[in-house]
Chain A
Amino acid sequence: AQKITQTQPGMFVQEKEAVTLDCTYDTSDQSYGLFWYKQPSSGEMIFLIYQGSYDEQNATEGRYSLNFQKARKSANLVISASQLGDSAMYFCAMWGTGRRALTFGSGTRLQVQP
């Protein structure tokens, strides 16, 4: 079974500052993929970034980077230079070789303050 844990229900950050959203995971799969999605108040789910379990480099996509620590089973999302439009729910998710679907965490609500 796979499990994703996001321990921060809510986070505040000042505009233009960096913020780290925590994600830990548990799986018996040797190979897996880790994803982060953003959900604005409109409800749509927007894919942000992906990290494969065998990728040696941390993934980066623009202002988003994924701090992947395999031994600690963590995949934290780092948002640099926060913008007001970054205010949303953020979900960490995992894809494994067992079940062919994503398993999601409970999410973190990020609020960017001017």
Chain B
Amino acid sequence: DGGITQSPKYLFRKEGQNVTLSCEQNLNHDAMYWYRQDPGQGLRLIYYSQIVNDFQKGDIAEGYSVSREKKESFPLTVTSAQKNPTAFYLCASSPASGGLKETQYFGPGTRLLVL
């Protein structure tokens, strides 16, 4: 079955530690995205990538970094510079068809907690 996998489901971070959230898709989509969701809030865009080896900052990129070395993978690193990382992180992908109906498909999410 095609889909998006995120791991781990829960992640604990200690002060001053960098952690990496995994996102893999087998939908053959060109575009991938990372969103952050705080309790009771909407999704805010962290980073997005329309093609391999290229990515753009979203609205809240500070304290985060990404890489896009493979089409299938778009890992997100939460660095020690992100002072309030506790949130639910959602990865998504879309075909990058060039049209307006660019439906994004989401993974199950990773919940990050600070110890």
Contact = CB atoms under 8 A, between A and B. Distances in A.
A35 B43 CA distance: 13
B101 A44 contact: no
A32 B44 CA distance: 19
B42 A95 contact: no
Given A100-B31, A101-B58, A45 B92 contact: yes
Contacts of A25: none
Given A43-B88, A44-B108, A100-B48, A52 B42 contact: no
Contact of B108 (A37, A43, A95, A107): A43
Interface in B41-85: 41-45, 48, 50, 58
Given A106-B41, A107-B42, A31 B105 contact: no
Contacts of A42: 108
Indicate the size class of the contact surface on chain B. Answer: 20 to 34
Indicate the size class of the contact surface on chain A. Answer: 20 to 34
Contacts of A95: 100-102
Given A43-B111, A102-B43, 4 more contacts: A4-B42, A52-B100, A104-B42, A107-B42
Contacts of B35: 104
Contacts of B96: 100
9 contacts: A43-B88, A43-B109, A44-B106, A45-B92, A45-B104, A47-B103, A95-B100, A95-B102, A107-B42
B90 interface: yes
Nearest to B47: A101
A57 to B, nearest CB: 14
Contact of A53 (B33, B42, B100): B100
